[in-house]
Structure 1
């Protein structure tokens, strides 16, 4: 449970399900992440509810008994918000709100809220607003709860429906305008990228909260916002970096996450143009996180969606200072050692060994092994540059750690 001394945090409960496709372990992992998302958004999780089901109830997501249990707890403990780990349909959201009589959010809504808080530039705000409008459009019917006290069809076919259709038209027009605005900004950014010349481009990619911005600050000596919360960075930051006498462009991009809302993937694909156009990817991984292998898979999936999975990539396993293998107690002598008990040296002998010298282990925060990191990046950038400008390679001698 994430603790906070801030008494103004919004009190919330989390709701998830256990299915054949999502066992108890997986459900707990997702709820852990949902709790961190809630904390990032300014909430405090008071209790979690889970239920084993074949599939979510199409009307109320949970079964009748469990939704009543949640309703009792919310009423008795003055809870203001219920957050569901999966995306709710408009009908589910409407029905659950009636029963629980509190604010009802799903994972998508929560992430959109965090993005809205974190968006700093006009471009990021436009992208978030577009995603919010696309999320809102099919749910407008549920917003008109003041009409539901009128039973039957009388009064529901006239002004009420007209108001809803008017709102739908307004939202659709807003979506069209936002898409046009994004196209205009995309063209401007494309011109800016073209004006950077033929410098080698390197992009930091990875799951959210793995330390990309911290690494960016250390390497480029810039001041990119970084903190221990999800989605600390939304806007792509590009800096010119020089290792020894070799210059290149380094960009920090928005972090990825499991169950990333479709609306956000679509809205932020243009932001990821920096990744598409990069010559080299630095895939940053938080090796101290117990689910870092799943995070890697999630990043690979999104890189595939934006047609960047085949780019030259260096795996940067960050936060080695925070890595702590699960200890085996005296009572566990007969228990087979699993990945959770691996030391860093043991991890290096697993599939990571196949990555070869493209697997680096660092701590950006404590600046551990950063010289090895710089040397490897220098070698790769130099090779790309030589391939692009074969007559200029004499300008960039072999890496000298004392001159980096």
Structure 2
């Protein structure tokens, strides 16, 4: 009987020990679940995900020149002369052209552009979100090279106003991005349907032609939220079609939003990064403001030809030292690190004849005109 009692006691002790272990395990699970629930429902969640790379690179920092073009580069001969003045270890070239277009000896005069087109290009339409998507694709391609520290967006009609060394030093001495950005108070481009993601006070307008530091380039590429809002709500108004009668009047009351004039500016404002910007573009554009019937025809950039790309005209552009923003009553004096500098490093829109004249003036580099003979058309 005594042995049976001792056996029963041992069994009871084992059962009690197992029950204690099970209870402790259950209690631990409950605590973990409570902590997880608190973290899940009470931790702040950022509205936009950003992944800033911290990779350290060796060698000199580079400028990535990003060309957003229709097909080829009609002013490639001028840019070739510009890059010849620079060290190849200090610049990169990326081109977004029509899908399938290849830059080679049959399509460009400059070997520097051979194979520089990105492989995932898309069909781009003016005034559509495809324009800003193409910009994002260029930035994404350039970000793969960690030596690229400045990113300059250019069109196929842009020209440099200085030689490479001047442009390089101008950009590298400043830790800021150059993004033309101002309050869009007068035009009806903001769509109230954006308000859940983009508050009205963060809506900005400015030039498409930006120069950004690597941190800001990554913000643009990483963005999904603001870009999705633009794709859905920022669309240009359809052209006037009198054949549609009253329907045409209704269509013309729609918001007329041009994505590439708002996206980067608004995105950086949403991230409270305007304090890290020089809020001006580095690309000069002369706008035709003589239009009288703005409902039928908007302002458009004037194209410089051979005759109006004179040394005096170029000197005037290079002498501009401030920009006035009417909607903010703001004068933006052009500085880098508190040093007064010319406002513009580039200009548009320039014809081939105008670009030839810049070469003859040796604006970007010494150049022999005969070098253009027997080259691709």
> Which TM bucket (shorter chain)?
under 0.3
Q: Give the structure-2-normalised TM-score.
A: 0.25
Tell me which of the two structures has the higher relative contact order, counting C-alpha pairs closer than 8 angstroms and 6 or more residues apart.
2
Larger Rg computed on CA atoms? 2
Q: Which has the higher helix share?
A: 1
